[in-house]
């Protein structure tokens, strides 16, 4: 059995990346864009579409899996000196959060100012450094998780995991996103950190026995779907069970997808998941307004088209600015570093 510091998995030839991790992140980031796109289209149209049930089906596992995957490779770096650790796991995300929060406010402030005044825009912008703004809460929360795990790494694993589970089960509702989402999500991040070898073993076994993996996925889908549409998926205890089962299901599905060329676009999304996460809001919003104005599509089809525009538009922007003066949008500049970049591990997370 691999130690916690030595995850095993299939690495893509010549890259050192674990292929199914990219597929898992790609799958999840598309689900995230789909959720925002679908809910935005439905709000604008004043009715729900045929894609809405899929968005609801994914709700129990969409973010738990993202956080679990984010913790998978942490054991490889958690013991690094604080300066190096903070540079990679805190300053990295702080840079992108500040930059893209500012960009989002630049686009949204005219409408906000027209409705509430310039003073309110300034207040909300300053508040965004305490209360995450819009879609960017995920990268606001990740550095907090990284620091907490490093501080708690000498504590008994069972104790830390139990505290995280208790917080999730409690369904904390303080009214502050950072507090509430920390309580709801930390257990999944920590699970990825402490159970990484078992997660990689699950992926390997799924690839070795795809027939059993498909049976397991079908069983999980029935359980998850029944809980969601029975209205019990958010209940205490049920939510954490569905979150952990769903995260395992996404790992299993990603391991199977990694064996087929049919799903390669998802791998590309996973390799650039942070790019999509940062930038999808703009092509999503623009395409939504343009497509709704045509009156040519039903709500479900609109949701699919807007989702596609959000993903493709973000990737297109990334490719357009590569090698130009605007590459600071997706690449942290040298002046915003605490330490020199280190050689990456043989196995890499899809960041």
Q: Is residue 246 part of a domain?
A: yes
**What sign does the CA torsion over 217, 219, 220, 221 have?**
positive
Higher pLDDT, 339 or 123: 123
φ, ψ dihedrals at 66, nearest 5°: -60, -45
Q: Is residue 2 part of a domain?
A: no
B/e letters for 183-199, b = 16+ CB within 10 Å, e = fewer, are bbbbbbbbbbbbbbbeb
Q: Give the pLDDT mean for 63-91.
A: 95
Q: Please name the residue that has the structure tokens 């104790």.
A: 159
Confidence at residue 339, expressed as pLDDT on a 0 to 100 scale = 73
pLDDT reading at 350 higher than 80: no
Q: Is residue 347 part of a domain?
A: no
Q: What is the pLDDT of residues 46-62, one digit of tens each?
A: 999 999 999 999 999 99
Whole-number average pLDDT of the chain = 91
CB 42 within 8 A of CB 235: no
pLDDT reading at 216 higher than 70: yes
Cβ contacts of 13-16, under 8 Å, gap ≥ 24: 15/348, 16/344, 16/345, 16/346, 16/347, 16/348
Q: What is the pLDDT of residues 98-132, one digit of tens each?
A: 999 999 999 988 888 888 888 888 999 999 999 99
Cα(37)–Cα(139) distance, integer angstroms: 19
Q: Is residue 10 part of a domain?
A: no
Q: Is residue 99 part of a domain?
A: yes
pLDDT reading at 90 higher than 50: yes
Q: Is residue 307 part of a domain?
A: yes
**Considering its fold, how many domains does the chain have in total?**
1
CB 20 within 8 A of CB 257: yes
CA angle, 297 as apex, 295 and 299 as ends, to 5°?
105
Q: Is residue 13 part of a domain?
A: no
**Full residue range of the structural domain in which residue 241 is found:** 19-336
Q: Is residue 243 part of a domain?
A: yes
Global pTM?
Answer: 0.90
Cα(232)–Cα(175) distance, integer angstroms: 22
Q: What is the pLDDT of residues 285-320, one digit of tens each?
A: 999 999 999 989 999 999 999 999 999 999 999 999
CB 290 within 8 A of CB 20: no
């Amino acid at each position: 059995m691999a130690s916690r510091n030595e995850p095993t998995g299939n690495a893509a030839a010549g890259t050192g990346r674990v292929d199914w991790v990219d597929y898992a992140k790609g799958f999840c980031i598309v689900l995230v864009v789909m959720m925002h796109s679908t809910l935005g289209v439905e709000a604008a149209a004043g009715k729900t579409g045929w894609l809405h049930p899929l968005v609801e089906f994914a709700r129990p596992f969409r973010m738990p899996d993202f956080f679990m995957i984010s913790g998978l490779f942490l054991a490889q770096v958690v013991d690094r000196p604080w300066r190096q650790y903070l540079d990679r796991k805190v300053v990295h995300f702080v840079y992108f959060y500040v930059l893209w929060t500012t960009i989002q406010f630049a686009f949204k402030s005219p409408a906000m100012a027209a409705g509430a005044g310039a003073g309110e825009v300034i207040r909300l912008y300053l508040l965004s450094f305490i209360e995450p703004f819009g879609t960017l809460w995920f990268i606001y929360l990740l550095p907090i998780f990284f620091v907490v795990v490093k501080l708690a790494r000498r504590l008994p694993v069972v104790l830390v995991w139990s505290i995280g589970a208790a917080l999730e089960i409690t369904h904390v509702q303080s009214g502050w996103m950072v507090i509430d989402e920390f309580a709801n999500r930390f257990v999944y991040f920590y699970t990825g950190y402490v159970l990484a070898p078992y997660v990689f073993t699950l992926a390997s076994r799924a690839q070795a026995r795809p027939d059993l993996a498909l049976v397991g996925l079908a069983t999980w889908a029935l359980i998850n779907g029944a809980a969601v549409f029975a209205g019990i998926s958010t209940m205490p205890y049920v939510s954490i069970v569905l979150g952990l089962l769903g995260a395992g299901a996404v790992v299993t599905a990603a391991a199977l997808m990694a064996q087929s060329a049919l799903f390669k676009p998802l791998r590309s999304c996973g390799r650039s998941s942070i790019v999509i996460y940062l930038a999808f809001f703009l092509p999503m919003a623009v395409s939504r307004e343009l497509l709704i104005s045509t009156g040519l599509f039903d709500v479900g089809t609109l949701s699919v088209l807007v989702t596609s525009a959000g993903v493709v538009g973000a990737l297109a922007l990334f490719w357009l600015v590569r090698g130009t003066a605007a590459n600071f949008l997706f690449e942290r500049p040298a002046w915003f570093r605490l330490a020199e970049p280190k050689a990456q591990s043989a196995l890499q997370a899809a960041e």
